[in-house]
Protein backbone atom coordinates (compact mmCIF):
# COMPACT_ATOMS: atom_id res chain seq x y z
CA UNK A 1 0.00 0.00 0.00
CA UNK A 2 1.26 3.48 -0.82
CA UNK A 3 1.25 5.00 2.65
CA UNK A 4 3.40 7.95 1.67
CA UNK A 5 0.90 9.73 -0.55
CA UNK A 6 -2.82 10.22 -0.12
CA UNK A 7 -3.14 13.65 -1.71
CA UNK A 8 -3.98 14.40 -4.58
CA UNK A 9 -7.11 12.53 -3.71
CA UNK A 10 -8.93 15.07 -5.69
CA UNK A 11 -8.80 18.81 -5.79
CA UNK A 12 -11.52 18.88 -3.22
CA UNK A 13 -9.61 16.83 -0.66
CA UNK A 14 -6.60 19.06 -1.18
CA UNK A 15 -8.70 21.90 0.13
CA UNK A 16 -9.26 20.06 3.39
CA UNK A 17 -5.67 18.92 3.40
CA UNK A 18 -4.55 22.49 2.92
CA UNK A 19 -6.27 23.53 6.12
CA UNK A 20 -4.61 20.63 7.92
CA UNK A 21 -1.27 21.89 6.61
CA UNK A 22 -1.93 25.21 8.28
CA UNK A 23 -2.19 23.41 11.62
CA UNK A 24 0.38 20.65 11.10
CA UNK A 25 3.14 22.11 8.95
CA UNK A 26 3.66 20.60 5.51
CA UNK A 27 2.50 17.06 6.07
CA UNK A 28 -0.09 15.26 8.14
CA UNK A 29 -1.61 11.90 8.80
CA UNK A 30 -4.87 10.13 8.12
CA UNK A 31 -5.37 6.72 9.66
CA UNK A 32 -1.65 6.78 10.47
CA UNK A 33 -0.80 7.15 6.78
CA UNK A 34 1.49 10.02 5.85
CA UNK A 35 -0.14 12.66 3.71
CA UNK A 36 2.14 14.51 1.35
CA UNK A 37 1.53 16.73 -1.61
CA UNK A 38 3.42 16.73 -4.89
CA UNK A 39 5.14 19.82 -6.23
CA UNK A 40 2.38 20.20 -8.85
CA UNK A 41 -0.33 20.03 -6.18
CA UNK A 42 1.44 22.64 -4.09
CA UNK A 43 1.76 24.86 -7.18
CA UNK A 44 -1.99 24.70 -7.75
CA UNK A 45 -2.61 25.62 -4.13
CA UNK A 46 -0.17 28.53 -4.40
CA UNK A 47 -1.84 29.76 -7.61
CA UNK A 48 -5.24 29.62 -5.94
CA UNK A 49 -3.96 31.42 -2.85
CA UNK A 50 -2.86 34.28 -5.07
CA UNK A 51 -6.09 34.22 -7.10
CA UNK A 52 -8.23 34.69 -3.98
CA UNK A 53 -6.12 37.65 -2.89
CA UNK A 54 -4.20 36.13 -0.01
CA UNK A 55 -0.48 36.80 0.23
CA UNK A 56 0.41 33.35 1.55
CA UNK A 57 -1.12 30.28 3.15
CA UNK A 58 -0.64 31.86 6.58
CA UNK A 59 -3.16 34.58 5.83
CA UNK A 60 -5.67 32.48 3.90
CA UNK A 61 -8.76 33.10 5.99
CA UNK A 62 -12.13 31.40 6.26
CA UNK A 63 -13.47 34.15 4.01
CA UNK A 64 -11.13 32.91 1.28
CA UNK A 65 -12.10 29.24 1.68
CA UNK A 66 -15.03 29.17 -0.75
CA UNK A 67 -13.19 30.88 -3.63
CA UNK A 68 -10.04 28.91 -2.83
CA UNK A 69 -12.05 25.68 -3.09
CA UNK A 70 -13.66 26.79 -6.33
CA UNK A 71 -10.24 27.61 -7.77
CA UNK A 72 -8.74 24.23 -6.83
CA UNK A 73 -11.72 22.31 -8.22
CA UNK A 74 -11.52 24.19 -11.52
CA UNK A 75 -7.74 23.82 -11.85
CA UNK A 76 -8.07 20.06 -11.22
CA UNK A 77 -10.75 19.82 -13.96
CA UNK A 78 -13.30 18.45 -11.52
CA UNK A 79 -16.18 20.48 -12.90
CA UNK A 80 -18.78 19.72 -15.52
CA UNK A 81 -19.51 21.74 -18.66
CA UNK A 82 -21.56 24.20 -16.58
CA UNK A 83 -18.65 24.82 -14.18
CA UNK A 84 -20.21 23.05 -11.20
CA UNK A 85 -18.47 20.29 -9.22
CA UNK A 86 -18.83 17.00 -11.12
CA UNK A 87 -19.87 14.49 -8.46
CA UNK A 88 -18.99 11.30 -10.34
CA UNK A 89 -15.57 12.56 -11.43
CA UNK A 90 -14.69 13.69 -7.94
CA UNK A 91 -15.78 10.40 -6.39
CA UNK A 92 -13.86 8.46 -9.06
CA UNK A 93 -10.73 10.53 -8.41
CA UNK A 94 -11.00 9.92 -4.67
CA UNK A 95 -11.56 6.19 -5.15
CA UNK A 96 -8.54 5.91 -7.44
CA UNK A 97 -6.28 7.93 -5.17
CA UNK A 98 -7.02 6.63 -1.69
CA UNK A 99 -5.69 3.50 -0.06
CA UNK A 100 -8.53 1.09 0.63
CA UNK A 101 -8.23 1.52 4.41
CA UNK A 102 -9.20 5.19 4.12
CA UNK A 103 -11.50 5.05 1.12
CA UNK A 104 -14.88 3.76 2.33
CA UNK A 105 -15.96 6.17 5.05
CA UNK A 106 -14.48 9.21 3.37
CA UNK A 107 -16.02 8.47 -0.02
CA UNK A 108 -19.43 7.90 1.58
CA UNK A 109 -19.28 11.18 3.48
CA UNK A 110 -17.96 13.07 0.46
CA UNK A 111 -20.69 11.66 -1.76
CA UNK A 112 -23.27 12.88 0.75
CA UNK A 113 -21.69 16.35 0.74
CA UNK A 114 -21.50 16.47 -3.04
CA UNK A 115 -25.02 15.19 -3.60
CA UNK A 116 -26.45 17.66 -1.11
CA UNK A 117 -24.40 20.75 -1.86
CA UNK A 118 -22.91 20.55 -5.38
CA UNK A 119 -26.24 21.19 -7.16
CA UNK A 120 -26.55 24.46 -5.22
CA UNK A 121 -23.17 25.80 -6.35
CA UNK A 122 -23.34 28.80 -8.67
CA UNK A 123 -20.09 28.92 -10.68
CA UNK A 124 -20.87 32.45 -11.88
CA UNK A 125 -21.20 33.89 -8.39
CA UNK A 126 -18.17 36.12 -7.81
CA UNK A 127 -18.28 35.94 -4.01
CA UNK A 128 -18.16 32.10 -4.19
CA UNK A 129 -20.47 31.89 -1.19
CA UNK A 130 -22.55 29.15 -2.78
CA UNK A 131 -19.41 26.97 -2.43
CA UNK A 132 -19.22 27.48 1.35
CA UNK A 133 -21.62 24.69 2.41
CA UNK A 134 -19.89 22.19 0.09
CA UNK A 135 -16.36 23.13 1.18
CA UNK A 136 -17.34 23.08 4.84
CA UNK A 137 -19.06 19.70 4.56
CA UNK A 138 -16.08 18.13 2.78
CA UNK A 139 -13.61 19.60 5.24
CA UNK A 140 -15.60 18.34 8.23
CA UNK A 141 -15.94 14.89 6.62
CA UNK A 142 -12.21 14.68 6.02
CA UNK A 143 -11.43 15.72 9.59
CA UNK A 144 -13.96 13.24 10.95
CA UNK A 145 -12.45 10.28 9.10
CA UNK A 146 -8.82 11.23 9.65
CA UNK A 147 -9.02 12.24 13.30
CA UNK A 148 -11.28 9.36 14.37
CA UNK A 149 -8.67 6.80 13.40
CA UNK A 150 -5.42 8.26 14.55
CATH number at residue 96: 1.10.238.20
Instruction: Tell me if 2 is assigned to some domain.
Output: no
Instruction: Tell me if 126 is assigned to some domain.
Output: yes
Instruction: Tell me if 1 is assigned to some domain.
Output: no
Contact by Cβ (8 Å): 69, 134 = yes
114-123: list long-range contacts, CB under 8 Å, 24+ apart: 114/85, 114/87, 114/90, 114/138, 115/87, 118/84, 118/85, 118/87, 119/84, 121/84, 121/85, 123/70, 123/79, 123/82, 123/83, 123/84
Q: What is the pLDDT of residue 22?
A: 41
Instruction: Tell me if 68 is assigned to some domain.
Output: yes
Instruction: Tell me if 6 is assigned to some domain.
Output: no
Q: What is the pLDDT of residue 24?
A: 41
Alpha carbons 97 and 82: distance in angstroms, whole number: 25
Domain count, the chain: 1
Taking the chain (150 residues) in runs of 10, the rounded mean pLDDT of each run is 39 51 48 67 85 82 82 86 86 73 83 92 92 86 70
Residue 29, H or E segment: strand 28-30
Instruction: Tell me if 4 is assigned to some domain.
Output: no
Q: What is the pLDDT of residue 135?
A: 84
Q: What is the pLDDT of residue 34?
A: 63
pTM check: above 0.85: no
Range of the domain at 78: 11-147
Q: What is the pLDDT of residue 6?
A: 41
* Backbone region of residue 80 per phi and psi (left: phi > 0; alpha: psi in -120 to 50; beta: other values): beta
Amino acid sequence: MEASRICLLSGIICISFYFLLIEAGESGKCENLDIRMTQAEMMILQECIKEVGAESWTNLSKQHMACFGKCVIIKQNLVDEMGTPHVENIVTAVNQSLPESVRGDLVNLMEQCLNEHAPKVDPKEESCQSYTPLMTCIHVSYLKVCSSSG
